[in-house]
Amino acid sequence: MSLSEEQVGQIAYLARLSLSEEALKSNTKDLNSILSLAEQLAQINTDGITPMAHPLHMTQRLREDIVNEEDQSESFQAIAPKIAKKHYLVPTVIE
């Protein structure tokens, strides 16, 4: 499948792009190259190949979840304008 300059111009119009004649020719060539590559990839026989989530067989090294700061919520809430049940009360924005 290949696109004509007229079709690329229509696509550019729908995308609200203004292309010069030179850009239109360049983009038509680039899009046709991409479509040609997609056609080549579609012809590859993938029968019997298991889909992979990732090409590398690696595991993520995770650190231990350790608390390294003390809880300062009481000191912060002591200076807050309004609190209730350990929550900050803020003015209503939407009525």
Domain segments of the chain: what residues? Answer: 5-42
Check if the beta carbon of residue 59 is closer than 8 Å to that of residue 68: no
The answer to whether 55 touches 48, Cβ cutoff 8 Å, is no
CATH topology for 5-42 is Histone, subunit A (1.10.20)
Burial class, 69, CB count within 10 angstroms (exposed 0-12 / middle 13-18 / buried 19+): exposed
Q: pLDDT of the chain along its 95 residues, tens only?
A: 789 999 999 999 999 999 999 999 999 999 999 999 999 999 999 999 988 888 888 888 888 999 999 999 999 999 999 999 989 999 888 87
Which tokens go with 61? 């090294």
Token reading at 40: 């080549």
